[in-house]
Structure formats: structure tokens, C-alpha cells
Amino acid sequence: MENKNKKKLPGDPKKTKTNIIICVIAAFFAFGLIVFLNAEIQRNTHKEITYTKFINMLKEGKVEKVTFGRNVINIEPKEGERVAMIKVTYYTGYVNDTALVQDMLNKYNVEFSAEIDNKSSGILDFFLAYILPFVGMWVVLWLLMRMMTKSSGGGIMGVGKSTAKMYVEKETGVTFRDVAGEEEAKESLTELVDFLKNPNKYREIGARLPKGALLVGPPGTGKTLLAKALAGEAHVPFFSLSGSDFVEMFVGVGASRVRDLFKQAQSMAPCIIFIDEIDAIGKSRDSHYGGNDEREQTLNQLLSEMDGFDSSKGIVILGATNRPEVLDKALLRPGRFDRRIIVEKPDLKGRVDVLRVHSNGVNMDDTVDLHEIALATSGAVGADLANMVNEAAIMAVKDGRMAVGQKDLFEAVEVVFAGKEKKDRILGKEEKKIVAYHEVGHALVTTLLKHAEPVQKITIVPRTMGALGYVMQVPEEEKYLRKKEELLSEIVTFLGGRAAEEIIFDDITTGASNDIERATSIARAMITQYGMSEKFGMIGLESVQNQYLDGRTVMNCADVTESEVDQEVMRLLKECYDRAYKLIDGHQDVLHKLAAHLVEKETITGKEFVTIFEEETGITVKKTKSKEEEEQDGEKTSEES
């Protein structure tokens, strides 16, 4: 999700204003405190004494200076006690003692003077010392309380309604044109655009419109983007929240947030409420997925709000999830999220479209062929593709070029799929050789199996995401159905790396772990889901649990069967490995040649690969390129027209 353009509801300028007020108040408070302390110190360092004591001090010669004030005599002793480093002075009242001045002049030899009284009265002093600090303190306390209640959005203890995490955009500025592909999803949403624009039209007829729609699909396929586009098309505000924002530690918070959200939305209707990751609150309430009081309360509140609000005002709630299977059935009932809009991973054409949308505004040179990039990125979602275009642009800039070329795009594809080149990880000579044979093993097997040109590039430059080397393959075309033989070829290809290692080095390495994992999952799926094993036939032994995330499966068969399945998977993998072994064993010459070349160059292109392969084996490789080029040419002309 992109966060730019988003604005927190409590406006920022307001916040700085309160900050200034707080600073001013704090300064006042500090000033008052200083005055107060000053007064306290004065009280302790300026003590009253009796007149007799004063006269005695004079007689004893202890007085340094005398100042006659309006109604006090201030006495400064020569030496005496100190409080906090400050010399203590004394004062006493007037007594009708006419001889004092004469005595001081003649007998005691004390410096004395009279105070010129132009000081203000003591009231101001009193105010500064006592009233101001208290007022300041109260103001600060009051402000603190206010701040606390504000940040928790209600109750003083921080448990209450909150709008803290809700974002609202008055105008998203996104339209359906910014969403590439996903035609079906857009079509379903178009209907809602009109509803949001003219809710009255529908109300007059008495039509009941859907309150909510559920956007279902893998992460990064543009669900958020679609929701924003709907808001943009209808020119209505866009409220967005994530399901996980509702679920807090305190019971009841989520529910009150839901209430708050709907209240706000209703005041701004027509509008769109978008709840991302709705599965965080909408998880089924049965104990299968673990109960949680807070979540259930939140869900109940959401359900009752959805039932309660008047849809004729023009509020549409969109939820997004990639785990529709865990959602509570109550959420999916008519009148709630009764529509389900599937947002699929883009197919070839969709990927070209996404690439095109994101290349808008990016300088690209003539070498760029988005169709080819789309071919090489099967399985990528919109977010990946957007990322690739951006990476490519960054690479071009780093290179000091003004436009993005096809090479940048391919490099970006690799970066997104395999990570960045890890320049500092230098493979040792021996390891380099092993990796080279392993990768050539894959490439050789796939070429021998298909007699086609599926290899685009082989490299043994390590990447940040863990691969020490890899073979980039070109899928000839987008496939929706897979034949059994194709699946088997794929497994054999995965195992070709390990086979090459074993044949050449008579030893095996850990480098094949990922290959094994992937080969196993294909083999398992063939047996348990596709009904492709003779032993079990067409029985569904496994079902996919979350199809939009990692495609995790659950077994639904007896324990005995499960172990038999394992046996069968083992047998199938063994068979495939033997095939790979035989293929490579029979073509050792070309394997050596290619591996040596790879060790030297670190990267070889599909063309170089084919040249060496054809020279050594005498097998002609079918060129898939020409057909593609034709297609591209056709597409280019149609674009221009």
C-alpha cells in the first residue's frame, strides 16, 4: 500500500499551534517558579530581629551598613550566618529613637543611607511569587489532560474510540485507467461508480444496492489500487483502514473504532470505506482458527453496523483479503459483503499492460520490448512489475544514461526475482566449477527434453537472495493447462543440476536443496491433486488451503494412504532423476564444454549456449524467437494504428 497523499484526520497545523501554546505556558510556569523560589530565598536570608538586638549589634560593632526604608530598617551585618551561600541580612521596625542617627554618626561609625522609595507595592511581588506559579501549574495540568485524552481519542485512560489510524482522502486522484488489466474487477466496480454518484436515482426507484464487496486476490495485485480508483472515478472520499488496526489489546476498543468509523463515514457520505486485510477481524468465529473475544466483538459490531446503516446514502464498503477461506460466513451474507471480486495475478497481456502503465512517464529507448519482459515474468504481480520498472529506471540513472533500455529491465527482473548481484561474495575455484556444472546440468536437460530454445541466460554470479547461480528460462507462451509430460520434464530439469554434480564430481552438494523442494512439490501435486498417478488414479488426496497466499495444502486422507503417497512421490522423483542422469551422462562432452565456458565468462547468453550445444551434439535447436518476433511486430503495428 502506498501511503503518500494520505492525511491523518487530526490536522497537523492544529498540532503545531497547541505545541506553541504549551511552550508559552511552560515558559510562564518556569518564570513563576523562579520568582517563587527567589521569594523563598529572600524570606530565609532576610530575617526580622528586635530593635534591642539591632542596637546591641551596633554596640558590638557587628553592623556593616544600615538602610532606612519606608517602614523598616535594613541591617547588613559584617560577618554572620549564610543560607545557601547568601549572607543573611536583618530588618527591624522603627522606634521613636531620635538619638539613633547621631549615635551612628558619632559613636558607631556605620555607613547608613535612606532608601529612595520608588518601588511598587508588594502586591505585584505577591502576585509573581504566589499566584502566578499556581495558575501556571493549573494550566499545564489542564493541557496535559487534554493531550492525553486527545491521543487516546476519548476516555482518559486511553481506552476509547480512536480515529488515530484512519486515513481519509478527499479525492484519491486514481482512476480505472491507472489500473492495468483486471477488466472483470473493473467491470464489477463500474456499477458502483454510478451508484455512488447518484444514490438518489436508485433510492427513488427503490433499488437495494450492495453494501459491500470483497476484493479477493494475492498480495500486490492491486486491490487497494482498485478501491482507490473506484473512489476516484466517483469523486467521493476514501476512508481506509487495515483490519489489524481494529484488533487491539483491550476488549471493546475495536468495536468502538468500528462505530466511530461508520459515524464519520456517514457524515461524509457518499463515500467509500476500504478495510484492508479484513480477515484480521473477519476470521470465522468457530474455534477452528482459534477464538478471540476482542475480535469477535469487533466483528459483531462490524456486522451490526453494516446491517444498520442506510445504504441509500451511498456508502460502499470494500474489503480486501487474500484468505477468503477463513472469513466468517456471516460476513458474506446478502446485505453484507455479498459480492466477491476476484483480483487475479495478471496474465501475459495483463503484465504487458501493467508494465505499460508504469512506463508512462519513464524515458525508454528503442530497445525496450515490454512484451518480452512480460514473457519472462510469469507469476509476477502488479506490485512486482511496478517495482521492476522503477529498478530499471534507477539502474539507468546510476549508469548515467537518459533512458531505460531493455537490458536494464531484464536486470531489474533478475533483481526482483533473485536479488541483487552479490559482488563481494567470491566463489572459490572449486565451488565455481561445481555451480557451473550444476547450472549447465539444468540447462542441458531442459534443452535436450524440449529440443527448443528455452534458455535465456545462465549465470554463476551469486545473488543476495541466496542463489549461487541460475538458469533463466523463457517460457514460450503463457500456459493455463499443463500436460503431464510437461510437468515431468520440469521435474527432470530441476533434478538435472544434482545429476550433473554426481556424474562429474562423484559427490553431491547442498546446492540442490531448492531444486529438490520444488521438484517434490510438483510430484506431490501430480499425485494428490491432478490424479496423474497410476497407483491412486483420480482421487483428491490433498486440497489447497489458501490459494492466494502460499498455496499451502492439507491432506485429506487416511494416515496409511499418506505414507503410501510419500512412497509414490519418492518413486516418481527417483524415476525423474534417473532420466536426468541418463540424459547428462550421454552428453558429457557438451556439458564439459559449456561448463568451462561458464566458469570463464560467469554468464552466458542463450545464443552462446545454443551455438555450443548445436556444435557439440549436432542437434538443431528449434528457434522460438522468430515466432515471437512476428507476434511482437504484429502487436507493435496494432499499437501504432
Binding-site ranges for Zn ion (CB under 5 A): 497, 515
x-marked contacts with ligand ADP along 343-362 as a string, rule CB under 6 A: -----------x--x-----
Binding at 257: pick from ligand ADP, Zn ion, none (beta carbon under 5-8 Å per type) = none
State which of positions 68-107 bind ligand ADP (CB under 6 A).
Answer: none
Q: How far is the CB of 518 from Zn ion (least distance, A)?
A: 9
Nearest CB to ligand ADP, comparing residues 179 and 375: 179
Residue with the shortest CB distance to Zn ion: 497
> CB under 8 Å to 277, separation ≥6 — which residues?
242, 243, 244, 320, 321
How far is Cα 257 from Cα 357, in angstroms, rounded to an integer?
37
Q: How far is the CB of 382 from ligand ADP (least distance, A)?
A: 2
Q: How far is the CB of 416 from ligand ADP (least distance, A)?
A: 12
DSSP state at residue 104: I
Reading phi first (left if > 0) and then psi (alpha if -120 to 50, else beta), residue 153 is in left
State which of positions 159-198 bind ligand ADP (CB under 6 A).
Answer: 179-182
Contact with ligand ADP (CB under 6 A) among 92, 224, 297, 377: 224
Contact with ligand ADP (CB under 6 A) among 136, 210, 212, 220: 220
Binding at 221: pick from Zn ion, ligand ADP, none (beta carbon under 5-8 Å per type) = ligand ADP
Q: How far is the CB of 276 from ligand ADP (least distance, A)?
A: 7
State which of positions 269-328 bind ligand ADP (CB under 6 A).
Answer: 320
Cell numbers describing residue 257: 473504532
Binding at 354: pick from Zn ion, ligand ADP, none (beta carbon under 5-8 Å per type) = ligand ADP
Binding-residue total with ligand ADP (CB under 6 A): 19
Amino acid identity, position 207? A
Cell numbers describing residue 632: 511482437
Reading phi first (left if > 0) and then psi (alpha if -120 to 50, else beta), residue 421 is in beta
Contact with ligand ADP (CB under 6 A) among 216, 275, 383, 468: 383
The Cβ of residue 399 has, within 10 Å, a number of other Cβ atoms equal to 11
Q: Alpha helices, DSSP H only, in 427-512? A: 429-450, 484-505
Render 542-610 in DSSP notation, one character per residue.
EEES-TTTT--EEE-S-HHHHHHHHHHHHHHHHHHHHHHHHHHHTTHHHHHHHHHHHHHHSEEEHHHHH
Cell numbers describing residue 577: 532423476
In the block, cell 468495536 appears at 255
Contact with ligand ADP (CB under 6 A) among 73, 225, 271, 368: 225
Render 467-482 in DSSP notation, one character per residue.
-S-EEEE--SS--SS-
Nearest CB to ligand ADP, comparing residues 388 and 468: 388
By CB under 6 A, tell whether 219 contacts ligand ADP: yes
Q: How far is the CB of 403 from ligand ADP (least distance, A)?
A: 21
Q: Give Cα separations from 12 to 20, 26, 170, 307, 517 (angstroms).
A: 13, 21, 16, 35, 51
Q: How far is the CB of 374 from ligand ADP (least distance, A)?
A: 13
Q: Which residues bind ligand ADP (CB under 6 A)?
A: 1-2, 179-182, 219-225, 320, 354, 357, 382-383, 386
